[in-house]
């Protein structure tokens, strides 16, 4: 399979996580979600976090997004400067009364970007995610895959340094989900963002990422940190190669 090399990534990490733990208090005393998580992420790296249900994957992402605090440990960005972050959840979480254009443009409105610039950037994102012709559609008129494209465009429009994805395709049917893998892979290559994505799917992680972290059962610890080199752009056929199969077997063994 022909492919091109992804540009070599700098060694200085955009994100450093050290001894991160998370405990949630409950009637039984406490639920230990994460324990001593440590890893670095390089700029433009696409990392998938894989693991069984309850391993703390979403908790990790929410901590990095600043939505919840860690119980102990710390994480730092680059030279200490906090980057801009875009996040996409399992559900598209679009505002039902706003059109596709208005939903995507929302972060620019919050930043009070002037209307002409905001409209230009919004149109660029609509073209990038392939939603031309649906600019004035409301969320109720979109398919699940189209709604997630809107959510991804909205997360990217302010040009974030770090994109966090929390199982964004989990609610889609199998065929739509696989099409979205290709679209997200193409988006990542076009924009070269740093991405951390949570998933339950071994195939999804191998198709999209160049590095996979496998977490253990609760409390989640890093059981495997696997980097691999599959050519880009990735097409559906890659899932039927012997290299892909060997990598999938290795990840499955780590999870089991």
Count of other CB atoms within 10 angstroms of residue 10: 11
CATH classification at residue 20: 3.40.50.300
Confidence label for 62 from pLDDT (cuts 50, 70 and 90): very high
Within a domain: residue 202? yes
List the domain range (segments joined by +) for residue 67.
9-81+193-256
213: left (phi over 0), alpha (psi -120 to 50) or beta: beta
- What is the per-residue pLDDT across 4-24, written as a single tens digit (0 to 9) for each? 344 455 568 889 999 999 998
* pLDDT over 80 at 159, yes or no: yes
CB 197 within 8 A of CB 48: yes
- Calculate mean pLDDT across residues 65-84: 83
* pLDDT over 90 at 150, yes or no: yes
Count of other CB atoms within 10 angstroms of residue 186: 16
Mean pLDDT rounded to a whole number for the chain: 88
The residues facing 85 across adjacent strands are 162
The confidence score (pLDDT) of residue 142 equals 94
* pLDDT over 60 at 240, yes or no: yes
CB 9 within 8 A of CB 188: no
Rounded distance between C-alpha atoms, residue 62 and residue 65, angstroms: 5
Within a domain: residue 166? no
CB 56 within 8 A of CB 22: yes
Beta strands in 94-251 (DSSP E): 162-166, 194-199, 211-215, 222-227
- Calculate mean pLDDT across residues 45-54: 92
Say what the pTM is: 0.88
C-alpha distance from residue 77 to each of 59, 60, 65, 66 (Å): 18, 15, 12, 12
Select the more confidently predicted residue: 31 or 36: 36
Within a domain: residue 26? yes
Within a domain: residue 235? yes
Q: Give percent above pLDDT 70 in the chain.
A: 93
3-state secondary structure of 217: coil
- What is the per-residue pLDDT across 91-123, written as a single tens digit (0 to 9) for each? 889 999 999 999 999 999 988 999 999 999 999
Q: Give percent above pLDDT 90 in the chain.
A: 60
Rounded distance between C-alpha atoms, residue 143 and residue 248, angstroms: 30
C-alpha distance from residue 79 to each of 15, 52, 163 (Å): 9, 33, 18
The confidence score (pLDDT) of residue 92 equals 85
Calculate the CA dihedral of residues 197, 200, 203, 205 and round it to 10 degrees. Answer: 20
The confidence score (pLDDT) of residue 54 equals 85
Within a domain: residue 21? yes
Let me know the angle formed at the C-alpha of 52 by 70 and 256, rounded to the nearest 5 degrees. Answer: 130
**Token pair 């492919």 is at which residue?**
3
Within a domain: residue 177? no
From 33-37, 179-183, 204-208, the region with the lowest mean pLDDT: 179-183
- Calculate mean pLDDT across residues 215-223: 93
Per-position DSSP letters for 10-31, written without gaps between them? PSS-SEEEEEEEEEE--TTS-E
The confidence score (pLDDT) of residue 77 equals 84
Q: What is the count of structural domains for the chain?
A: 1
Within a domain: residue 141? no
Within a domain: residue 178? no
Confidence label for 80 from pLDDT (cuts 50, 70 and 90): low
The confidence score (pLDDT) of residue 126 equals 92
* pLDDT over 80 at 27, yes or no: no
């Amino acid at each position: 399979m022909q492919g091109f090399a992804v540009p070599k990534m700098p060694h200085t990490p955009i994100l450093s996580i050290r001894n991160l733990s998370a405990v949630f208090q409950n009637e039984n005393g406490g639920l230990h979600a994460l324990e001593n998580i440590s890893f670095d992420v390089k700029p433009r790296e696409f990392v998938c976090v894989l693991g069984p249900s309850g391993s703390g994957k979403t908790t990790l992402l929410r901590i990095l997004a600043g939505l919840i605090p860690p119980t102990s440990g710390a994480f730092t960005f680059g030279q200490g400067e906090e980057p801009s972050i875009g996040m996409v959840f399992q559900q598209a979480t679009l505002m039902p009364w706003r059109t596709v254009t208005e939903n995507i443009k929302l972060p620019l409105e919050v930043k009070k970007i002037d209307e002409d610039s905001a409209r230009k950037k919004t149109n660029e994102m609509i073209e990038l995610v392939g939603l031309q012709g649906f600019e004035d559609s409301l969320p109720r008129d979109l398919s699940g895959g189209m709604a997630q494209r809107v959510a991804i465009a909205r997360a990217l429009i302010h040009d974030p340094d770090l994109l966090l994805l929390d199982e964004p395709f989990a609610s889609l049917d199998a065929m739509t989900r696989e099409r979205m893998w290709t679209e997200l892979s193409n988006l990542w290559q076009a924009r070269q963002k740093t991405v951390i994505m949570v998933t339950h799917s071994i195939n999804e992680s191998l198709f999209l990422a160049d590095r996979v972290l496998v977490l253990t059962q609760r409390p989640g610890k890093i059981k495997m940190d696997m980097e691999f080199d599959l050519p880009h752009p990735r097409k559906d056929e890659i899932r039927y190669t012997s290299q892909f199969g060997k990598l999938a077997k290795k990840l499955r063994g780590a999870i089991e």
